[in-house]
Every structure is written in structure tokens, then in C-alpha cells.
Copies of this chain bind each other. A is one copy, B any other.
């Protein structure tokens, strides 16, 4: 069975020192270590140690073979978004990252599919780079759950989503710049508590802001099974019903009407929650994702799904059909 992992992160092995080049800012740069790993540095501070599977295409293919997975959808690491930078500088950085991924997918057309990053803080430049992403062979973009604390319902982002629909470019929304981060540094809470909330914030913003309503053909996938959105949809719907004066100010339709219009990945680490998600979304809208190569990801690439005794057609939907539909690709291209 074809298995496509649609949520994986990758970096170029070498990054220019953008902070030095631009003369400001905490742009990420890499310090390669003797043991073959690299330290991601944010300004002068250590951010994260990464291994060769973060940049080595062949090593990754080997890793994936162990889990019978043939195709990886790759995108950058959210900390690279750099939406806080001057738009032109973010554009330059984005181009560098996008070109690296375009090069990869041209060299490995059956093993890799690419998503780009664009300077969301500048509508015009974002659309310009979106168009270029399409031209160089990427199939969509990855964006943050908020853009410098602005929500995805903000009117300045609408033309970008509109362009995505027009160009047929898919969107992956990934949590980052987590709410409350400054007050919960301990116990990894920004990742364990903040990220699921960020994704719910993003989905709510796109629903209540009318983005999905106005762009019915926009193809959006939300990381980590939509975070806390689906399991708290009872509360969200009740809020919509009881206080439309607060919630339904830009879109009259109830939130549950949009279930099945967007996709979510399967990264729940919990068969029971995945079953709950499948019941809500339908298997055509739940995609195999892992967050590879990071430890918080499902590094067995959906192995737990094999143990859930799901009908074979449901498994096939998750493993490939849902992703192919999200990205508007044909299965034959990867056989």
C-alpha cells in the first residue's frame, strides 16, 4: 500500500548566517558538530540539536523504508518562518528554503513532495513567492497558526488564501509562536498545551472569519489532528449557538458545517482520539502525518494505525488517498 507522510520537516544542510547578512534579528543558523549533528542557534542562544535526518535525503528515505513509507511531504521548521523580519529579508530567506526543497523534489520526484514558506507579514510579497513556489514545483505552502499574533481571520491574509485557491496550492497550518509561552516555560508546556490551542485558534479563526465559507475550494490541512479543535467542538458549537452576537459576526454558518471541508493529520498518539477524529472528519479528511524527524512526532509513521483494526479502505484513505486529494495529486505519480 502506498504510504505518504504529509507532515515532515526538513532544512538545508547549510544555512547562510542571515543575522549577519541582514544586520539584525534572531534568524536561525546551524553550527555543525563533530558527532554529525548540528545545533540550531537562535541569535546567540541554543534552540535545538538536530541530526542528519533533518537534511540528508537518502538517510530519510532509509528511515522511512523501515516503516513501509515511500513518500514524504517536506516543509521547513516553523521557527524558520521569520514573519517578524523585514518582509524583503523574510522573502530572501523563504526563497532560499524553497529553492532547497524544489531541488530535492526534482531529484527525488517519487519520494518527496514539497511545501514552501512565504512572507505572510507582507501580502504582496507573500503572493509573489506563492506564485514562484508553484512555478518551481512545490504543491503548497506551510503557514503558522498566527502571523505575529494576528489571527488567520485578519483581512490582510485573505488575498493570500484567495491566491492559494486560484493557484491550486494546498496549505498546511502548523502551530508556532505559542500563546502563553512566556508564562509556561517549564515542562515543555508551550509544545504540550500551547500548540494544541494554537491549532484550534487557527481553525476557529478561519471558520468564524468566513475564510472557508468564501473559499470553498481552498485545501487546508491542520497539524496534530487539528490540536484541541475537534475534541472541544462541543464547547465551540455551544458558544456559537448561545452567543452569535460574539461568535457569528462574520459568518452565519455553524462551525460543524465545515467538518470535512478541511483536512487534519493523524498525529494524536492515541488510537481512541484518532477514532473520535475519524468519526467527525471521515477518513477522506484524515491524513498520515508524523512530525518527523522530531521526538514529539510519531516516528513509527502511523504504525499505531495498523493496530486499530480499521477497515482496509479507511487505512488506505489515511495512508495516501486523503493526502493525494489534499494536494490534488495522482497516485500513479508515486508508484
Binding site for B on A (CB under 8 A): 146, 149-151, 153, 179-180, 183-184, 186-189, 191-194, 196-197, 200-201, 204-205, 208-209, 224, 227-228, 231-239, 242-243, 246-247, 249-250, 267-270, 272-273, 276, 279, 295-296, 298
Contact = CB atoms under 8 A, between A and B. Distances in A.
A153 B224 CA distance: 26
B186 A269 contact: no
B193 A197 contact: yes
Contacts of A186: 151, 153, 205, 208-209, 249
Nearest to A150: B183
Nearest to A187: B208
A136 to B, nearest CB: 34
A187 B200 CA distance: 12
B183 A179 contact: yes
A231 B231 contact: yes
Contacts of A208: 186-187
How many copies of the polypeptide does the oligomer hold? Answer: 2
Given A151-B183, A180-B180, 9 more contacts: A151-B186, A186-B249, A187-B250, A192-B200, A192-B239, A192-B247, A193-B204, A242-B296, A272-B276
A234 B296 contact: no
A237 B271 CA distance: 13
A24 B320 CA distance: 61
Nearest to A153: B186
Contact of A235 (B187, B234, B247, B296): B296
A276 B237 CA distance: 18
Given A196-B197, A197-B196, A235-B296, A151 B204 contact: no
B179 A180 contact: yes
A150 to B, nearest CB: 8
Contacts of A197: 179-180, 193-194, 196-197, 200, 228
Contact of A234 (B153, B201, B269): B269
Contacts of A235: 192, 196, 224, 267-270, 296
Given A188-B247, A269-B234, A269-B235, A242 B295 contact: yes
Contacts of A231: 228, 231-232, 273, 276
A296 B239 contact: yes
A192 B194 CA distance: 14
List 8 tightest A-B contacts by C-beta distance, closest first. A234-B270, A179-B180, A231-B231, A234-B269, A197-B197, A228-B228, A242-B295, A187-B208
A205 B249 CA distance: 35
In this complex, the member of A187, A232, A235 whose beta carbon has the largest number of chain B beta carbons within 10 angstroms is: A187
A268 B237 CA distance: 11
B179 A243 contact: no
A201 B228 contact: no
